[in-house]
Amino acid sequence: MEQNPDSLWQNCLDVIKARVPDQTYETWFKPIKPIDYDEDKLTVQVPSQFFYEWIENHYKDLLNTTLEKISGNGVRLVYSVVVSDEDMSDGSAQAAGQDSGRPVRQTPPAQSYLNERYTFQNFVEGDNNQFARAAALAVAETPGGTSFNPLVLYGGVGLGKTHLAQAIGNKSLEEGGARRVLYTSSEKFTLEFINSIKNNKTAEFSEQYRNVDLLIVDDIQFFQKKESTQEQFFHTFNALYQAGKQVVLTSDRPPKELSGMEERLLSRFHAGLIADIQPPDLETRIAILQHKAQEDNIEISYEILEFLAANITSNVRELEGSLIRLLAFSSLSNTDITIDLAKKVLKEVVGKNFKSAVSIQDIQSITGDVMDVSESDIFGKGRKMEVALARQVAMYLSRELTNSSLKTIGLHFGGRDHSTVVHACKVIEEKREKDETLRSQLKSIRHKIEMSQL
């Protein structure tokens, strides 16, 4: 009986699912979609170039032998890859395209150099970036029409400056606020300027950068001490500003800290709005990981995401990278993602400075053991004196030993309000000065927590 692509592929999946861990199946096989089948080939679609390369490198033999077994007639597997902007720019899609048909989605105009994956929809908002995001959104909706010109976004490495800046460009193009958008880095601007001088094409260079509605320049700190480049950028900036066009800039530090930058250029930067992006708090880091996992169709427990977020605190790029690395370890070792695997991977990433993060659940459990109160009572609503004291101790230690906010701690104790956590911490602070038994219990709990993290 002749099979259609859906039934043939489902039969293959049934075999594969029995041979790989659930995590591997959900991540690398479930997203594959059958789209065509004829007598000698089955065409399946995968979501990205990276996905295709990973499958080819790690599961090619498994897929081919399974398909041969199910089809019984030497059917070969052909991939159709949804092409991204980065695939198109580096030529890799063209190379892989010799063996697979690839539907190409529409991308922003080539001259914009925007990555369409950088949008406001997939930018995770938190207290650390709320103001910057609001300013960026206002500029995106009315480029050149607000007093936020230029908009300067600054912050440390890997915190989302480039994402937010390009989101402005993508939204402006999508909604028609700007017809001509150009994204560039300060290094690229400098190199093109140097080449224009060498090739006697400075007029063409000036025209390229001044004939836009929205100019986005990344990492302006690299303009420092480049006097000729600063001169050219100053005139470019002035031309756009006077024409009512929007300029968006990013930097790794506030403009006032950019040494080796002309005063008149710094004056222009300060004429608009300067917004900083701080490292995300624990809740925002967890939300970023949850978003990344959902985006990549990864099923992973909250406990593991919280563990990663508690250990990587200052760099969003590194945070997302740790999740990808964890996924890779799981696939290569054919094991499900567990907290032990997460600890192993993170230790290799962080190195000697790695310290296994204590969780609020660990603190609750150990506090209960030492103070002879059940963990469920600590979590629950019991008001007996010994239960209330153990609960307050656990809250106090959670505040001291984790990076969790008051709100998060309260949620781990039956959804209590943050003011309850503040009160508990104050009570324990006062009692430990007078109560020798309590001091001894705190010391014992701390010791057990330290031993549990070795």
Each residue's pLDDT, cut to its tens digit, for the chain (454 residues) gives 456 888 888 888 989 988 887 777 877 888 888 888 877 788 888 877 767 777 887 888 888 888 888 887 778 888 887 654 444 444 333 333 334 333 333 334 447 888 888 999 989 888 889 999 999 999 999 999 899 999 999 998 888 999 999 999 999 999 888 889 999 988 888 888 898 888 888 888 888 888 899 999 999 998 988 888 899 999 999 999 999 999 999 999 999 888 888 899 899 999 899 999 988 888 888 888 888 888 777 778 888 888 888 777 778 888 888 888 888 888 777 778 888 888 877 776 655 455 556 778 889 889 988 998 887 888 877 778 888 999 999 999 988 888 778 888 888 888 888 889 999 999 999 988 888 889 889 988 988 887 766 5
Tokens at 264, concatenated: 């008149």
pTM: 0.58
Q: How far is CA 33 from the centre of its chain?
A: 26
Exposure pattern of 364-403 as b/e (b: 16+ CB <10 Å)?
bbbbbebbebebebbbeeeeeeebbbbbbbbbbbbbebbe
Q: What are the residue ranges of CATH 3.40.50.300 in the chain?
A: 130-277
Residues in the chain: 454
Q: Which CATH class is domain 5-96?
A: alpha beta
Q: What angle do CA 341, 347, 353 make, to 5 degrees?
A: 155
Q: What are the residue ranges of CATH 1.10.1750.10 in the chain?
A: 360-452
Is residue 54 a contact partner of residue 63, using CB atoms and an 8 Å limit? no
Q: What are the residue ranges of CATH 1.10.8.60 in the chain?
A: 282-353
Task: List the beta strands (DSSP E) in 229-375.
Answer: 246-251, 273-277
Could you report how far apart the first and last alpha carbons of the chain are, in Å? 59
Instruction: Spell out the residues 6+ positions from residue 241 whose beta carbon is closer than 8 angstroms to its own.
Output: 149, 150, 247, 268
CATH of 130-277, picked from 3.40.30.10, 3.40.50.1820, 3.40.80.10, 3.40.50.300, is 3.40.50.300
Q: What angle do CA 78, 79, 80 make, to 5 degrees?
A: 130
Is residue 390 a contact partner of residue 407, using CB atoms and an 8 Å limit? no
Is residue 230 a contact partner of residue 190, using CB atoms and an 8 Å limit? no
Task: List the beta strands (DSSP E) in 196-278.
Answer: 214-218, 246-251, 273-277
Strand 41-46 to 33-37 pairing: antiparallel
Tokens at 336, concatenated: 């499900």
DSSP code at position 104 = B
Say whether 152 sits in a helix, a strand or coil.
strand
Among residues 267, 247, 246, 271, the alpha carbon closest in space to that of 258 is found at 267
Architecture of the domain made up of 360-452: Orthogonal Bundle (1.10)
Among residues 443, 444, 398, the alpha carbon closest in space to that of 420 is found at 398
Q: Which residue has the tokens 């009570």?
A: 427
Torsion angles phi and psi, residue 305, rounded to 5: -60, -40
Among residues 294, 285, 237, the alpha carbon closest in space to that of 261 is found at 237
Q: How far is CA 431 from the centre of its chain?
A: 43
> Is 282-353 a domain of CATH 2.60.40.1220?
no
Instruction: Spell out the residues 6+ positions from residue 391 whose beta carbon is closer than 8 angstroms to its own.
Output: 377, 378, 413, 424
Tokens at 402, concatenated: 């984790």
